[in-house]
Amino acid sequence: DVKVTQSSRYLVKRTGEKVFLECVQDMDHENMFWYRQDPGLGLRLIYFSYDVKMKEKGDIPEGYSVSREKKERFSLILESASTNQTSMYLCASSLFWGRGALNEKLFFGSGTQLSVL
């Protein structure tokens, strides 16, 4: 089965720090996504990538950047962490949609709970 691994389960950082959240998938998926999950707001898409070195902004990209140097790894970067970025961050991956509707499915990591103090 597909495995999506996020490097940290819990992370505590200070305001102004640069924060890296790492995500690795082991099934050669083209698409990778970063979401943040907040109570009452559900999942909101920050960035996604459909190929190496490609990235697209999601609904809430402000304050974030991403890096995809290798197909299996998608990193989320908080350039200068702020308290309003305290959240659960979820990474996900999927096959490219062009391979047919039967392959439409997101595989999620377990999440990183980030606290910015």
Partner 1 sequence: GDSVTQMEGPVTLSEEAFLTINCTYTATGYPSLFWYVQYPGEGLQLLLKATKADDKGSNKGFEATYRKETTSFHLEKGSVQVSDSAVYFCALTIGDTGNQFYFGTGTSLTVIP
Sign of CA dihedral 37, 38, 44, 48: negative
Position 69 contacts partner 1 (CB under 8 A): no
Among 47, 66, 109, 114, binds partner 1 (CB under 8 A): 109
Position 104 contacts partner 1 (CB under 8 A): yes
Q: State the minimum distance, in angstroms, from the CB of residue 5 to partner 1.
A: 10
HEC secondary structure over 53-108: CCCEECCCCCCEEEEEEECCEEEEEECCCCHHHCEEEEEEEECCHHHCHHHCCCEE
Which residues of this chain interact with partner 1, rule CB under 8 A?
A: 4, 31, 33, 35, 40-43, 45, 48, 50, 56, 58, 90, 92, 94, 96-97, 101-102, 104-106, 108-111
